[in-house]
Amino acid sequence: MDDLLSRRTSDSDYSKYWIDWFLGIKGNEFFCEIDEEYIQDKFNLTGINTEVQHYNYAIDMLTDVFDHDLEKYKKYDFGCCPRVFCHSQALLPIGLSDIPNSSSVKLYCMKCEDIYAPKSSRHATIDGAYFGTTFPHIMLQVYPYLIPQRSQERYIPRIFGFKIREYSIIHQLQDIYKKKQDTKLDIIKENEDIQKNKQTF
């Protein structure tokens, strides 16, 4: 019995050492250590065993995703948005596909709601499926106070102070589309409020 206990302890020590080593490698700054409870929750692992080789071994080695990633987000470990009007908004990693080896990790800006390629070539080799297509959106559900005010600023190209007509027309069309979308969202929100009020009566 003591032999089994010491073997488990040494396996746990090795796993901890490996995780620390892996997270310390240059280019792996996007990764975080995961709490064991998160991994043992079967809901979080749905369908993963068909996609990952050595699934059981990987589950044994992995050990609260969002708390660690929140710290990385606050420290700008994932970088900041290159768009000037986002005023250095912190970025979050995102995959363009949930299928392994289909695309590399990208970076999502919550302010302009756009996606950018990582600056470092080391990060550009990380599989986007590690983060999936939903990571930033789930993070915003967990920490809704992180949702920034959407940037209303837009660069308008000018020549000698005059707007360039082609861009001017494009911007007008974008503004019309945005107003329509905002109106639709307002209607949906009003309908949800009406439904909530009906349920309370």
pLDDT band at 62 (very low <50, low <70, confident <90, very high): very low
Angle formed by the axes of helices 65-74 and 135-142, nearest 10°: 90
Query: What three-state secondary structure class fits 158?
Result: strand
Q: Containing H/E element for 174?
A: helix 165-200
Query: Where along the chain do its domains lie?
Result: 2-146, 158-200
Residue the block writes with tokens 């660690």: 68
Least confident of 26-35, 58-67, 145-154: 58-67
Residues 118 and 126: their CA atoms lie apart, in Å, by: 10
Which CATH fold topology does 2-146 show? Answer: N-terminal domain of TfIIb (2.20.25)
Per mean pLDDT, which range of 74-78, 99-103, 152-156 is the poorest?
152-156
- pLDDT score recorded for residue 14: 65
pLDDT at 129 over 70: yes
Q: Under DSSP, is residue 116 helix (H, G, I), strand (E, B) or coil?
A: strand
E strands in 56-112 = 91-94, 106-109
Residue 4 has pLDDT above 60, yes or no: no
Determine the pLDDT at residue 109. 93
Instruction: Describe the chain by its helix, strand, coil percentages, rounded to 5.
Output: 55, 10, 35
Q: Are 151 and 86 in contact (CB under 8 A)?
A: yes
Residue 108 pairs in a beta bridge with 92, 115
Query: Nearest CA to 93 among 64, 116, 120?
Result: 116
